A and B are shown apart, each in its own frame.
Chain A
């Protein structure tokens, strides 16, 4: 029973560099979500995919952020020209196909902690 995995777990980068994170969802979960969490706050929604289609993006997702989910399996989140304000925990979650009120629960990975110096 494999859960959501994320790689890397920690990333330290210098301001202005590009970073890319990977998320592998639970097998057969067709929906995948990205969230960002800063200290003292709950996770904030960034974007979500149903299969390979990106269906919603938050206003938090500036032009420097891009997410992909090729072939509807794993997903990547790239941040270009990182800024110190990007320092946060980036969480990925997945959920199965929505059938009525079943499938609402999202299952989270351990997160990638990004530190921009």
Chain B
């Protein structure tokens, strides 16, 4: 059973516009959420995270929003740049141990 779901396999955005990547989860025990970015032939790179006690966390061009009642989080990238083209994984953690990942969304930023 997939506890973390990224329902959009891919997303294409024009350079300079906003990219919005979505993620849904089912397990109420998850209390920390993370986004990772992955380039081919590299390991995932940590991007931004949010605790369940918050509903928003911002770091430069990246903002993560958490809606606990809907069990939904999203990553906003503004403005999108061609170098942002990568696979983005949403991950959730119960009590700071293992991470449970979604299947990923391929983001393509067109110049």
Q: Is A108 a contact of B103 with CB atoms below 8 Å?
A: no
Which A residues are CB-close (under 8 A) to B42?
110-111
Q: State A104–B104 Cα separation when bound (angstroms).
A: 20
Contact status of A40 and B103, CB under 8 A, knowing A56-B97, A108-B44: yes
Q: Is B101 a contact of A44 with CB atoms below 8 Å?
A: yes
Number of A-B residue pairs, CB cutoff 8 Å, is: 61
Q: State A114–B73 Cα separation when bound (angstroms).
A: 33
Closest CB of chain A to B107's CB: distance in Å?
15
Whether a CB of chain B sits under 8 angstroms from the CB of A43 is yes
Q: Is B101 a contact of A42 with CB atoms below 8 Å?
A: yes
Which B residues are CB-close (under 8 A) to A4?
43
Chain A residue at minimum C-beta to C-beta distance from B91 = A42
Q: State A43–B98 Cα separation when bound (angstroms).
A: 11
Which B residues are CB-close (under 8 A) to A40?
103-104
Which A residues are CB-close (under 8 A) to B32?
101, 104
Which A residues are CB-close (under 8 A) to B43?
4, 91, 93, 108-111
Contact status of A43 and B44, CB under 8 A, knowing A56-B98, A106-B99: yes
Q: Hey, what's the 0/1 contact readout for B73-104 against A, CB within 8 Å counting as 1?
A: 00000000000000001010100111111111
What class of interface size applies to chain B in its complex with A? 20 to 34
Which A residues are CB-close (under 8 A) to B4?
42
Whether a CB of chain A sits under 8 angstroms from the CB of B63 is no
Main secondary structure of the interface of A (DSSP, over half): loop
Closest CB of chain B to A83's CB: distance in Å?
23
Q: Is B34 a contact of A45 with CB atoms below 8 Å?
A: no
Give chain B's interface residues, CB within 8 Å of chain A.
Answer: 4, 32, 34, 36, 41-46, 49, 51, 89, 91, 93, 96-104
28 residue pairs bridging A and B, Cβ less than 8 Å apart? A4-B43, A41-B103, A42-B4, A42-B102, A42-B103, A42-B104, A43-B99, A45-B100, A48-B97, A48-B98, A58-B98, A91-B43, A93-B43, A98-B96, A101-B32, A101-B51, A101-B96, A103-B96, A104-B34, A104-B93, A104-B96, A105-B46, A105-B49, A106-B34, A109-B43, A110-B41, A110-B42, A110-B43
